[in-house]
Structure 1
Amino acid sequence: MRATATDAPALAALAGEHLDLVRAPFTLPRSRLLVFREGDGVRVHTSEYERSLAECRVLDSLVVRDAHDAVLPITRVLPQRVEFGGGFATLVFAGPGALSVGIAAGKAVDRFTVEWTTPGGATTRCTLDAAGPAVRLDIAADRSLSAGASVAHLANAAASEAIWLDWFSRCPLVRDDLQSMTALCWWVLGANIVELPALGSARAVVPSKIGYVGLWQWDAYFIAVGLRHGDPELAREQLELAFRFASDDGQLPDVVHEHGVLATSDDLPRADRDRLRRAGSTIADPAAPVPLTKPPLAAWALAKVLEVEEADAWARAQLVIIRRSQDWWFAGSDLDGDGMPEYGHPYSSGLDDSPIFDGPLPTTSPDLAAYLVRQDLELARFAEQFRDADAAPHVARAERTLALLLGLWDDERGLFHAKAAGERVGSDTVVGLMPLLTGRLPEPIGERLLAALADERRFATPWAVPTVAASDPDFSPERMWRGPVWVNTNVLVIEGLRASGHPDAARELAERTVALVMHGGGPHEYFNSVTGEKAPTATTAFGWSAALFIDLAVGLSGPATLPQVE
């Protein structure tokens, strides 16, 4: 169930309870500006592809002082404004590229001062009164700053509020205990909307304006799954953008960004290009460019998005691209010619730092095989639904891939193992749980994987599911893909449990996953699997964590549990 315009102010206020300007900055849909807390004031950065926040500082500090030159502290943050001194003054957006600081609506005009310092150390003070009630700070794409008096502060404040209330009018309504975090997660998706030059005026919901300013293929799938509950049109747009730049042979690029696409190692700077060669591989040509993509979950995401709103003509057009992409995996990424595609580089797995990639490349991995089986089965179903293709080849290929996948099963250890350039990898990781997604595993194997999820020595850490088993020598509860919990891999395990006939276990893991996000204080990139807290190096306000929390919250909420938003 979606919110309405009547619900929007209350939902925006719920999201505001989480906007601390530390983990969650102040921003605006389509804007590249990020405002963070700095003492009793704020600092301002731009958001750019492959540039750190430190490289993108515009203001080191901005403070508001009263008529006696005392600093007015920040007293409240809402999606549409930052309030100083109990609401006397506010900071709002004046369009995507500018900020306005001025007297709040309904407050008596009094003299006050806005003071800001640029990274070069220059400090500017602007004293405002009834004759000049606000200051406008325009920030250009090159991070240059210009300032001037403005009489449009209240109009800017109203315009920003209208943008955010329109966004929150689409926020899903969920169970009472999940509503506050759902509002924050809906804010994250709106906050992460940007425009990319390569996409024209299209809206890309990026993984994070804090360090991930581009449309990553895998992220687009997960983000679309959450967006569908409130804005199915924007969800479809994410998939369409991910599919727009398919190569002639069908490969989908890893990233669409403001300078173009990242589809092979040749799209990287020379130093990175050399580092990405398949060094140590006896199978792959070490001189050839390395294709860079993401796992084949396109048909899964398409099916999810179409569950909430039919778009048959649009879906048929996307399926043409997805079928070609699926064919590419078998034609372009089966480097040893055995019928089982491999990852040519860790980037293409989405789990870059997993220990399954510590050995030589390419890597045969059970998760990739599972995704390919699931995608062929989805494509067969779509072919039967739309009668626009032959389902039989997809079914046959799924059966062949499944047989090869079962060849990776280690019955003695009770896991699916990976191979590095043909040699068995001993690591016990979350990729070994992904074959549940096929829904076609022999029952004894499915039961063994279910037992692994309940085993404290493997995947039943205090906050499950770790990306590396707790007993594995490479386990680290905080190091990227080597032991923390990621919301997207949890969701794929949940999907696998459902597909394999374990709905109770799926719901239990869904409940534990939403509990993790709430315990950890927000939709972070990944979480410590022992403490449940944000891992120190994890990005905050992370897109797929937010989107998938929303999807889980909607799934866990029934008509009888819908809240009264006040």
Structure 2
Amino acid sequence: MTTSTNAGRSGPADEARGREKLWGPYLSERQWGTVREDYSAGGDAWSAFPHDHARSRAYRWGEDGLGGICDEKQRLCFALALWNGRDPILKERAFGLTNGEGNHGEDVKEYYFYLDSTPSHSYLKYLYKYPQAEFPYNDLVATNQARGRHEFEYELLDTGVFDDDRYFDVTVEYAKASPEDILIRITAEHRGPDEATLHLLPTLWFRNTWSWQDGGGATAPRLSATRTPAGTTALRADHPALGSYELRCGGQVPLLFTENETNSERLSGTPNPSPYVKDGIGRYVVNGEDSAVNPAQEGTKAAAHYTLTIPAGGAESTRLRLAPAGSSMPLTRDFDTVFRDRRAEADAFYRELTPDGASEDEARVLRQALAGMLWSKQYYSFDVENWLAGHGLDPWTAPGRAVRNGAWFHMACDDIISMPDKWEYPWFAAWDLAFHTVALSVVDLSFAKDQLELLLRDTYLHPNGQVPAYEWNFADVNPPVHAWAAYFVYTLEELRTGNADRAFLDRVFQKLLTNFTWWVNRKDPSGRNLFQGGFLGLDNIGVFDRSAQLPTGGYLEQADGTAWMALYCQTMLQIALELVRHDPAGYEDHVLKFAEHFLWIAAAMERTGGDGLWDEEDGFFYDVLRLPDGQATRLKVRSMVGLLPLCAATVLRPGQLAGVRGLGDRLRRFVDRHPSLAPGLAEALAGAEDGPRLLSVVDEKRLVRVLSRLLSEDEFLSPYGIRALSRYHADHPYTFGVDGTEHRVGYLPAESDSGMFGGNSNWRGPVWFPANALVIRGLLNLYAFYGDDLTVECPTGSGVRMNLFEVASEISTRLTRLFLRDENGHRPMYGGQRKFQDDPHWRDLLSFHEYFHGDNGAGIGAAHQTGWTGLVATLMTFFGTVTPEHFRTWPARKET
């Protein structure tokens, strides 16, 4: 199996042809506690299916495991299971706190790391740190429940189970000899001072579809023991659709079989039809229940049971091979050679992706970020109509009660999707996914394009044009960044390969026309081109819950919602200008449509006066609260909401507008009819015919004023990027009184002290990568127009002046600094966790957190949200190869 390493033209990304990606890391880290598995009347998914049920209850819509793989439809799964001789249960899946169990909630309490992956998953590497002491399940819950929101979370390291290095580093590696011939090496390294025993149970099982799909009663696939050469053990997997496979295991090792069926007796006191149920292997190993496994050596779930006694500082490796049944390939043939070749190919691939001159540490960050992106793929199955039927709803009768996602009967998901985090967010989120594709485009362009088209298919996109937001509420509203991401990926592919995939761009554009119309019709109720949208992904950033009815009545005109729509218009205009060159008749009207839409929005945002989004006194954009009696009040919170208008800046290449027949005349006639819009078009029409054109909702004067706040270290500019809320609010919290209740927004650099949106996410001070990436994107576009003529102080008040390219580069440097060792050898992202900072077995293991402390850079929130934090790889490759000269090929703006 060969792997080209040319990242620009071919390579592991292009192994997707045929069956190269049939097997991959598509197994979730958590299936319990998801909406898909929740059939309760109350809709509390976490309580309806807790971790305590997961080992005993068969899932319907997916599976989970440790460091696992599965086929692309998750019919057959493989993962690790472990036991240290002390735990009360087999360690088969990651444990974490539900929203009601922790002071911050929804937080995995395990240490595992995605260390390597090629795009085709020809090589994969995963590390899990397993304590030798009893895993402190109850301690983690009880202690975190007792802590308040203002206290630190109680983490696994805090419990003492890693003291004296009494733990195992368990590494699993996969190397493909061919697309369906997968070599597996599991290495357990003992870090502690005394000999210790580890029970290692590589587990193979079928997802249970036979007992409930198509009315149930289907014949179940089977696992069974099979004859093997001396010195090995094997089990056979027969599936009617997938075919037959064998898992060959090194050594004469016991095989344990049970059924992937719910243990109803344990969960509800109902007798089981068979003694062999999902938790049977765990009960056999942990509790010594010999009758819990099938002596006939068959079932739908099976494990090889290795008992490893490892000396202090020692290691044991176990070899396995998953391959089609009937293959004559022995377990060990070419085993080391295949691993060596796959690893060498991965090294060569990432070496080519790494910018020249990058340090070893920078190369490590880049590689682990992209490995995390690739490991975060997940098989996602969810037939919403079927699920709603389980709640007594069908699409032809009016529901008698509210049920989550009750209007989304059309959705039928059955795909591999890039997930934000396979434990905390094991479901897609629309705007997250758009950012994922920007990061994935660095490593796998074809998959990035597939993901962008996925949510626009008829099985996802609502008939009314709405893109589904995320599983907890498909009808919620995420920022409309799909068009921007699609155009970015399209442009990147053309620059890298010379291939302009206009068919892809056209397909995306046609579907986005429907979504754009939905936004205009649904989120601008007053028809004033000032948009709403609710929380728009920014959770608790506002004074009020922006997705709920306001306590004042009335509605919000949102600075961020309107800025998102301005950017949407700009990007749709860019796409239309790209397509019109090849189909003038089909796209000229679209060019004018989006030019006009943008002008209306820009004019609405530029309005001054007491009810405009722009505040002339502060030099900043704010949401406007419109009360039922017609009064309007600006909510003067200096937040990312007011910075996002900077992101709505797009430069059109020289000659793009001139290439559209009569466009200039039509735009000028439009302005003549609407003279109030003239300022919005002035800079777009300014300059020589061969110069760039700027579309922006901020003119130069306002730009400089907003940047003075953005680049102030007393406000938004953190040592590690742009904060979501100005530090000004640390000493000057914003308050708004309603009926005797004070609503307050203060600067919170770390976790939230608000229960809004579950309280597990905070936009009131920390650094978030997606918003930072869009700020950088806006600055680069503004630099392409203003060039070196426009400079600003950076940081504000420092006396150091930078052009906007240099400002963008400075913000990027601060962001990447989060992950790199400083002069003391410490990584800011790990804060005060000494184990991660100093221990040689921990310090080079990177987590890509959901967001980061606004002052010290410590990682917060979901520990594996590489999804959009993986944008660090995009920034490193971009600023590692691009210089201001790339933008100077466009003449700077000339005064007109």
TM (normalized to structure 1)? 0.72
CA distance in 1, matches of 2:864, 2:109: 20
Hey, what does 1:419 align to over in structure 2? 624
Structure 2 counterparts to residues 249-398 of structure 1, below 5 A = 249-255=464-470, 257=471, 262-264=473-475, 292-309=476-493, 310-343=500-533, 345-346=534-535, 349-358=536-545, 360=550, 362-387=555-580, 388-389=586-587, 390=589, 391-398=591-598
How far did 1:210 drift? Answer: 1.3
CA distance in structure 2 between the partners assigned to 1:442 and 1:484 by the alignment = 28
Asked if 1 retains the 8 angstrom alpha-carbon contact of 2:78 and 2:204, the reply is: no
- Tell me the SS of whatever aligns to 1:197: strand
Match of 1:528 in 2: 853
CA distance in 1 between partners of 2:201 and 2:880 (Å): 35
Q: 2:874 aligns with which of 551, 556, 561?
A: 551
Structure 1 residues 438 and 53: CA distance shift in structure 2, 3 A: closer
Name the counterpart of 1:542: 865
Matching residue of 1:438: 648
From 437, 441, 447, give the equivalent of 1:228: 441
Residue 476 of structure 1, aligned match among 729, 732, 748: 748
Other-structure match for 1:209: 422
Aligned-residue offset at 1:93: 6.0
SS at match of 1:452: helix
State the Cα distance separating 1:262 from its structure 2 match: 3.5
In structure 1, what is the Cα distance between the partners aligned to 2:414 and 2:344? 22
Residues 414, 90 of structure 1: alpha-carbon distance in 2 compared, 3 angstrom cutoff:
farther
Cα 1:513–1:423 change in 2 (3 A) is same
Contact preservation (8 Å) 2:768, 2:851: yes
Equivalent position to 1:197, from 381, 386, 390: 381
The 1:402–1:392 alpha-carbon spacing in structure 2 relative to 1, beyond 3 Å, is same
User: 2:287 corresponds to which residue?
Assistant: none
Q: Contact 2:421–2:865 (CA<8 Å) still a contact in 1?
A: yes
Structure 1 match to 2:246: none
The answer on 1:498 being equivalent to 2:780 is: yes
Q: Match for 1:44 among 92, 99, 122? A: 92
The 3 A distance-change label for structure 1 pair 418 and 240 is same
What is the aligned partner in structure 1 of residue 678 from structure 2? Answer: none
1:429 CA drift (Å): 0.2
What letter is aligned with 2:642? G
1:237-273 superposed Cα distances (whole Å, 9 cap, x missing partner): 2111222222222111102x5xxx8433xxxxxxxxx
2:814 aligned residue: 512
**CA–CA distance in structure 2, aligned partners of residues 137 and 497 of structure 1:** 59
SS in 1 for 2:810: helix
| Counterpart residue type for residue 132 of structure 1 | Q
Contact kept? 2:202, 2:304, Cα under 8 Å: no
For 2:93, what is the secondary structure of its paired residue?
A: strand
**Contact 2:170 2:188 (C-alpha < 8 Å) held by counterparts:** yes
User: Following the alignment from structure 1 to structure 2, what is the Cα–Cα distance between the partners of residues 415 and 445?
Assistant: 8
Aligned CA distance change for structure 1 residues 79 and 97 (closer, same or farther; 3 Å): farther
CA positional deviation for 1:558: 2.4
Q: Using CA pairs under 8 Å that are at least 6 residues apart, name the structure with larger relative contact order, 1 or 2.
A: 1
Matching residue within 288, 310, 320 for 1:154 = 320
- The AA in structure 1 aligned to 2:807 is A
Q: Is the 8 A contact 1:223 1:548 kept in 2?
A: yes
Contact kept? 1:528, 1:534, Cα under 8 Å: yes
Change (3 A) 1:141 1:55: farther
CA deviations on 1:40-59 (whole Å, 9 max, x unpaired) are 999332799x9968899xxx
What's the offset of the Cα at 1:424?
Answer: 1.5
Q: Distance in 2 between matches of 1:205 and 1:500?
A: 31
**Per-residue deviation, 1:419:** 1.9
Secondary structure of the residue aligned to 2:859 is coil
Output one character per residue of 1:99-143: Cα deviation in whole Å (capped at 9) or x when no partner: xxxxxxxxxx99xxxxxxxxxxxxxxxxxx986237578894966
Q: Structure 1 CA distance, aligned partners of 2:199 and 2:566? A: 54
Residue 77 of structure 1, aligned match among 171, 196, 199: 171
Given that residues 369 and 873 in structure 2 are in contact (C-alpha distance below 8 angstroms), is that contact kept between their aligned partners in structure 1? yes
The separation in 2 between residues aligned to 1:93 and 1:2, in whole angstroms, is 34
Q: How is 1:23-42 mapped onto 2 (pairs within 5 angstroms)? A: 26-28=67-69
Q: CA deviation at 1:302?
A: 0.5
Deviations 1:132-155 (A, max 9, x none): 237578894966455444799421
Find the aligned partners of 1:301 and 1:141 in 2 and give their Cα distance.
Answer: 42
* Native 8 Å contact 1:524 1:541 kept in 2: yes
Cα separation, 2, equivalents of 1:392 and 1:46: 52
Unmatched tracts of structure 2, length 5 or more: 1-5, 13-64, 100-105, 111-128, 134-164, 175-184, 192-196, 208-230, 233-248, 263-277, 282-300, 307-317, 323-330, 383-411, 494-499, 581-585, 608-612, 627-631, 650-695, 734-745, 753-761, 784-803, 821-826, 830-845, 884-896
SS in 2 for 1:299: helix
Contact 1:207 1:216 in 2 (8 A): yes
Q: For 2:371, what is the secondary structure of its paired residue?
A: helix
Measure, in 1, the Cα distance between the counterparts of 2:880 and 2:256: 44
Kindly indicate whether residue 629 of structure 2 is the aligned counterpart of residue 448 of structure 1.
Answer: no
Does the CA-based 8 Å contact 1:367-1:431 persist in structure 2? yes
Amino acid at match of 1:447: V
Counterpart of 2:91, as a letter, is: R
Contact 2:573 2:595 in 1 (8 A): yes
SS at match of 2:747: coil
Q: Per-residue displacement from partner, 1:307-334 (whole Å, max 9, x unpaired)?
A: 2323221221111111221121111111
Going from structure 1 to structure 2, the CA distance change for 1:527 and 1:140 (only over 3 Å counts) comes to farther
Distance apart, 1:559 and its partner CA: 9.2
Q: What's the secondary structure of 1:558's corresponding residue?
A: coil
Q: Structure 1 residues 452, 137: closer, same or farther in 2, change over 3 A? A: farther
Moved more, 466-475 or 539-548: 539-548
Are 2:170 and 2:187, in contact at CA under 8 Å, matched by a contact in 1? yes
Check whether the contact 2:483–2:572 (CA below 8 A) recurs between aligned residues.
yes
What does residue range 112-123 of structure 1 map to in structure 2 within 5 Å? none
Partners of 2:442 and 2:425 in 1: CA distance: 24
Deviation string 1:188-208 (CA, Å, 9 cap, x unpaired) is 112211111146652101000
Cα deviation for residue 497 of structure 1 reads 1.2
Give the whole-Å Cα distance in 1 for the aligned partners of 2:556 and 2:78. Answer: 40
Given residue 369 of structure 2, which amino acid in structure 1 is its aligned partner?
A: C
User: Pairwise CA RMSD of aligned residues?
Assistant: 4.3
| CA pair 475-295 structure 1, distance change in 2 beyond 3 A | same
Structure 1's unaligned 5+ residue stretches are 7-23, 65-70, 99-108, 111-128, 265-291, 561-566
For 1:553 and 1:483, the matched residues in 2 are separated by 24
C-alpha separation in 1, matches of 2:542 and 2:347: 41
Residue type at the aligned position of 2:874: D
Q: Which residue of 2 aligns with 1:119?
A: none
Whether contact under 8 Å (1:494, 1:509) holds in the other structure is: yes
Deviation at 1:416, TM superposition (A): 0.5
SS of match in other structure, 2:433: helix
* Contact 2:716/2:722 (<8 A) preserved: yes
- Assess, with a 3 A threshold, how the Cα gap between structure 1 residues 137 and 329 changes in structure 2: closer, same or farther: farther
Q: Distance in 1 between matches of 2:818 and 2:261?
A: 37
Letter aligned with residue 604 of structure 2: L
1:380: Cα distance to partner?
A: 1.5
Q: CA deviation at 1:300?
A: 0.6
Indicate how the Cα distance of structure 1 residues 392 and 82 shifts in structure 2: closer, same or farther if over 3 A, else same.
Answer: same
Aligned residue pairs total 470
Local SS of the residue matching 1:325? helix
Displacement after TM superposition at 1:350 (Å): 0.5
